Amino acid sequence: MEEHHSAATPVADETAGATGTTEIAGATGTTGTTGATVASDIPPLTVRDVTVRFAGLTALDAVSFTVRPGTVHALIGPNGAGKSTCFNVLSGVCRPAGGSVRLGEQELTGLPPHRIAGLGVARIFQNLALPPHATVEDCLLLGRHRLTRAGFLAAGLRLPAAAREDRRHRERVREIAAFVGLEGQLDRPAGSLPYGQQKLAELARALCMEPRVLLLDEPVAGMTADERRRTAAVVAGVRDSLGISIVLVEHDMGVVMRLADAVTVLDFGRRIADGTPGDVQNDPAVVRAYLGERAEPEETES
């Protein structure tokens, strides 16, 4: 997503545990059905009949769903359902045997990860991947790489244009750090932060890419209840204030039901349900996938 500095959108600073608001320059656009501000340049992400096979195993079997602009779309299912494989297809790590992934009119299928990232799709992995000895600010600056125009030589010589660009990037990093509640941690080594704050730093680094679509792989896994609440508030703010589309893989069903506007359920690589959280939660096929078939009561002799 291109940078938009024309409007600052106030966001409730729940992540910092303080009253008041934190402002971040957000995307301008229309208001969607969820009440979120949807950036005008964010198209739908459309997955059609995606099939992935590993040797003789079908990991995804003709899976289809559409992520509407400016919404949180959860992808859930039991372990081994195909969620991670689907994320690998969306981010270019895995090439499908069939089907297509499109961001608006742009075909993503088969593109390498750096090309997909360049088109505005950012991914956060389940495991932490922050350089532990780098400062939080430097870690977030890594997210600005695709937006940097100055060459290596110009940056090394601190030429005026490169210096101005560096200042702009650092200003944006400070804005995004404040948005996720890390403005006071920018000078600290990333590895010294508590686990929950390191996960927020991962999210902030992805936001520094100015993405149009954000892929979140279990963003609250391993967190305390308080950390889960704070992180969920930030994710909701990303949707409601920035209008970024989010695809969410998460095992915490409480977080899914609170955040998601739509849910797709996978089981053994197949889509078994797709709809609103309420509809999916009560779908018999989903209940069977998570809990198994209900055993019939045995008859007792009278």
How far apart are the C-alpha atoms of 270 and 16, rounded to whole Å?
A: 40
Compute the distance between CA of residue 291 and CA of residue 284 in angstroms, rounded to an integer.
10
Residue with tokens 């859930």: 76
Which band of pLDDT confidence, cut at 50, 70 and 90, is reported for residue 20?
very low
User: What would the mean pLDDT of 249-261 be, rounded to a whole number?
Assistant: 93
From residue 298, alpha-carbon distances to 288, 293, 295, 301, 302 in Å are 20, 15, 9, 10, 12
Cα distance between residue 302 and residue 298, in whole Å = 12
Sequential DSSP letters for 111-133 = --HHHHHHTTEEEE-SS----TT
Return the pLDDT at 150. 59
User: pLDDT above 90 covers what percent of the chain?
Assistant: 65
DSSP 242: I
Percent of the chain with pLDDT over 70: 77
**239's tokens:** 């949707």
pLDDT digits (tens, 9 = 90+) for 52-98: 999 889 999 999 999 999 999 999 999 999 999 999 999 999 999 99
**pLDDT exceeds 60 at position 261:** yes
Residue 242 vs residues 28, 85, 237, 239, 292: alpha-carbon distances, Å: 8, 27, 7, 6, 39
